[in-house]
Amino acid sequence: MTTTDPTTFGFSSTAEDVTAGVSLAGKTVVVTGCNSGIGMETTRVLALRGAHVIGTARTEEKAREALRALGIDGTPLACELSEPRSAAATARAIVGLGKAIDAIVCNAGIMALPAREVKHGHELQLLTNHIGHFTLVTRVLPALAERGRVVVVSSGAHMNAPKGGIAFDDLTLAASYQPWTAYGQSKLANILFARSLARRLPSGQTANALHPGVIKTNLTRHIGDEIFSRIDPKSLKTVEQGAATQTLLAAHPSVAAVTGVYFADCQPKEPSRYAQDDALAERLWHESERIVERLLA
């Protein structure tokens, strides 16, 4: 297997760049949110390198249409992350395929809902971005390959999490809802989940989190594209560049043994203080287990 030098990967690298020379023939990977943005590009490039991609979207129809549009012979599955029963059913379907899962890219997400939305008693960004993926991943673990990788797409916006990191006393942020605080809490939860998971996985399996960069995608559907006019164009990534860090973590041999780490621009990066707090990560893990148990009861 020939690979390009991972130390040279950075802001401008694309998902194709970071997998040049990497063969994923015989590998099976899961990508959530395969029908849009950087998830769709991740799906395309992992398949281009030979992986069988299990692509999930809110509906099976959306997932099938995305794979068809990409010309990929993958497996489309429904996974509505704000419905824990759907995420659990997706996990059962994945395990039922009987294939070892080499990587699962927890990519789907929503951002900065202008008004507080609560579903099943939970704030919708935390429910979708974190609880949905927690439900899915913890139930797919029995099928994770011996050297399987869990890749959790977080955001630099995890820095906007509320005081204390996770507002356990007011998890739905009823008293202080702010769109970016709520998104930040959910994205901090993504990093803490990867951190806790890394501690639990047997040697060989890995879990990492990442910030993909700032990319013009459908993610701004709730706040409008106007936000991009306030961002220095030089700090924007293309979709191809935005998909690079998660594709690297899912596929590149150089990070096969790296675990419990946060990446940005295809390199390790120190996240916020809260994101490095193991006690916070453990508390979130146990709270998430309780939440999922109640929601699936």
CB of 144 to ligand NAP, least distance (A): 20
CA 198 to CA 213: how far, in whole Å? 23
**Cβ of 231: how many Cβ atoms within 10 Å?**
11
Hey, which bits of the chain come out as E strands?
28-32, 52-57, 75-78, 101-106, 118-119, 122-123, 144-153, 206-211, 214-215, 236-237, 262-264, 267-268
Catalytically annotated residue among 177, 183, 262, 274: 177
Binding residues for ligand NAP (CB under 6 A): 33, 35-39, 57-58, 62, 79-82, 107-111, 128, 153, 155, 211-212, 214-215, 217-219
CA 69 to CA 79: how far, in whole Å? 19
Q: Which residues face 55 on adjacent strands? A: 31, 76
**Which of 211, 222, 226, 139 lies closest to 180, judged by CA?**
222
106 CB-contact burial (10 Å; exposed 0-12 / middle 13-18 / buried 19+): buried
CB of 233 to ligand NAP, least distance (A): 13
CB of 246 to ligand NAP, least distance (A): 8
Q: Which is nearer to ligand NAP, 169 or 230 (CB)?
A: 230
CA 177 to CA 117: how far, in whole Å? 10
Q: Which is nearer to ligand NAP, 114 or 253 (CB)?
A: 114
CB of 193 to ligand NAP, least distance (A): 13
Q: Which is nearer to ligand NAP, 153 or 203 (CB)?
A: 153
CB of 27 to ligand NAP, least distance (A): 22
Give me the half-sphere count of Cα atoms (radius 13 Å) on the Cβ side of residue 283. 13
CA 46 to CA 203: how far, in whole Å? 24
Contacts of 16 (CB under 8 A, 6+ apart): 45, 48, 240
CA 111 to CA 136: how far, in whole Å? 20
CB of 115 to ligand NAP, least distance (A): 16
Structure tokens at 111: 């951002």
177 is catalytic: yes
Residues designated catalytic: 177
